[in-house]
Chains A and B, each alone.
Chain A
Amino acid sequence: MLKESANDDENMNPFIATRRSRASRQRESLARAILLGMTLLLILPLVAIVGIIAVRGAPAISWEFLFAEPLRGMTAGGIFPAIVGTLWLVGLSLLWTVPVGVLAAIYLNEYAREGWLTRIIHLAIVNLAGVPSIVHALFGVGAFVLFLEFGTSILAASLTISVMTLPVIIAASKEALGAVPMAFREACWSVGATRWQTVRYVVLPNSVSGILTGVILEVCRAAGETAPILFTGAAFYLPFLPRSVWDQCMALSMHLFVITTQVPNVPEHLPYGTALVLLGVVLSVNAASIALRYTLRRRKRWQ
């Protein structure tokens, strides 16, 4: 007769639960519960925070808020100049980063050979991504505002942002280019196309979607950054909208910083409203890029 025993060797039947195996299974359920708890501990506060910002900021959102200027020392009014400024900055920074980043990714993926140079480039990209944003601001001041004498301007600020977001574009483009199967390139080479022709007419068009994902991510980062534009082009308050790249501008991120820390007696719903707009734009654009990536992955013709 088989009976339960703590000692496995007494019964030759491996399928009866022993005390030891029950203990390890309990330990596993406990571990699983704890790990789930840890994950939720990260996610639930996030949901709560976004919810609170939405609830407290919603009263501020209205057409006037989005299209009016700040009034009475920024204790009333809207955020229109900040939105315009952010659009200027993001648009220009795209203009500088996307060509350089995409070409750099093309170099790394199509032209570079394994070697010390490629290693150094890779290290430089990793490092560029990790440089603190205030250090980017110092670089922007030293290089664009002072050395190249652009002064504090949209030009200097957008250039600073573009150097900062370059690694994002390079990484996304590299992934997009790498996803194009080698067979496409080999087909081109076998009919006599040069490397550039292959890239231009076959590889690049097939990776546009992936590159677009990177561009969207870059837009998010550029819209949210404050430190790089603090000393290179953004202003606390401007009485007029920027008319050229040599002007300064306001920016959403900067505006949030200013009305939260520098302006006294601001009614609570204004900073919450600004935070809601900024957060809403960034999160929805990011979510759109995730959705884009998901649908593209399913639609790729060769997978």
Chain B
Amino acid sequence: MTNPSRRLARAGRRRAGRIAETAIELLIRLCGVSAVIFVLSIFFFIFREARIFIVSDAFRAREFFGTIAWYPDSAEHARYGALALIAGTVSVTVLAMLIAVPLGLGAAIYISEFATGRMRELLKVVTELLAAIPSVVWGFIGLMMFNPLIIRFFDAPIGLNVLNGGVILAFMAVPPIVSIGEDALKAVPDSYRQAAEALGATRWQIIWRVLLPAGRNGLLAATLLGVGRAIGETMAVLMATGHAVQIPHGPLDSVRTLTATIAAELGETSHGSDHYRALFTLGLLLFCITLVVNVTADLVVKGIRKR
């Protein structure tokens, strides 16, 4: 028979332990939903700064989305046409995807189907290192190295343009395309491959006629993630695409993307001014675009995992 005071002490320790445990579990649950809290806060705080502009007279939806005149600093006639900026983002992203998707998918196919052992590990490591390069370094590369190359090879007056930004973005978008694409190809059941091999198909025939169609969803998701990365990129395009607010007529034209505009102009605005709030509105637009792209990509990926 234990001493009653000792029994009480043990029960007290157990109760204290239970309280501590509940407290920790509460903290854990809170941290669990932290990502949701942060996403909502991002939306909330950006909206908070942009709201006054959006409901004011200075903002007209048709002007914002439909005209290319972006003169927010003009004293008498400030105009907020974001079309040229949107065109800048779209043009650079499209060029980047035209380069990155074939190359990235090609690399993904090679790494997952043809490369073996050490070669495959090496290629995967290199892809990861490619992904690790900071965007300001990419912008530096575009500005210092590609700029003179473009001027020399294309006889262009200036080397900071859609081509420069597009190539840089392609390099930046390739790693997610390669890794998700690889996952997608690996997710195709082995029975498909074995059935095709039993029919006498070569490896390329298996890839072209069986794996690519079967992995369609995953490859689409990989592309979408690459697109998301390209749209959201800031420093590299700021340094490499030039500073012309215009709709490009060709890859050798300079443009400015939505992201670069915010980065370039926010420092010069005064807090609370229309220009300042207009930039936050651009941020809101970017947030919504990347939200849609990323959620779509994720839903598509979920689709292939369920299979």
Contact = CB atoms under 8 A, between A and B. Distances in A.
**Is the interface on chain B under 10, 10 to 19, 20 to 34, or 35 or more residues?**
35 or more
Contact of A132 (B109, B279, B290): B290
A16 interface: no
A132 B42 CA distance: 11
A52 interface: yes
A230 B263 contact: yes
B293 interface: yes
Contact of B106 (A35, A133, A146, A224): A35
Interface stretch (B60-68, B139-147, B248-256): B139-147
A251 B200 CA distance: 59
Interface in A123-139: 123-139
A183 interface: no
Given A28-B203, A133-B234, A38 B106 contact: yes
A291 B49 CA distance: 44
A225 B134 contact: yes
A46 B110 contact: no
B290 A131 contact: yes
A265 interface: no
Interface stretch (A70-78, A237-245, A252-260): A252-260
Given A39-B123, A104-B31, A135-B283, A226 B135 contact: yes
A132 B266 contact: no
B24 interface: yes
B69 interface: no
A246 to B, nearest CB: 19
Given A42-B174, A134-B283, A104 B35 contact: yes
Interface in B97-113: 102-104, 106-107, 109-111
A124 B35 contact: yes
A22 to B, nearest CB: 11
Q: How large is the interface on A (under 10, 10 to 19, 20 to 34, 35 or more residues)?
A: 35 or more
Interface string A103-140: 11011100110000100111111111111111111110
B134 A224 contact: yes
A19 interface: no
Given A111-B25, A120-B36, A226-B134, A135 B143 contact: no
A167 B35 contact: yes
Contacts of A131: 39, 42, 232, 287, 290
Contact of A261 (B143, B262, B286): B143
A45 B99 CA distance: 14
Given A121-B32, A124-B36, A135-B283, A260 B140 contact: yes
Contact of B204 (A31, A43, A170, A278): A31
14 contacts: A27-B205, A28-B203, A31-B208, A35-B114, A41-B103, A46-B129, A128-B38, A128-B42, A130-B291, A134-B262, A142-B280, A147-B48, A227-B259, A275-B140
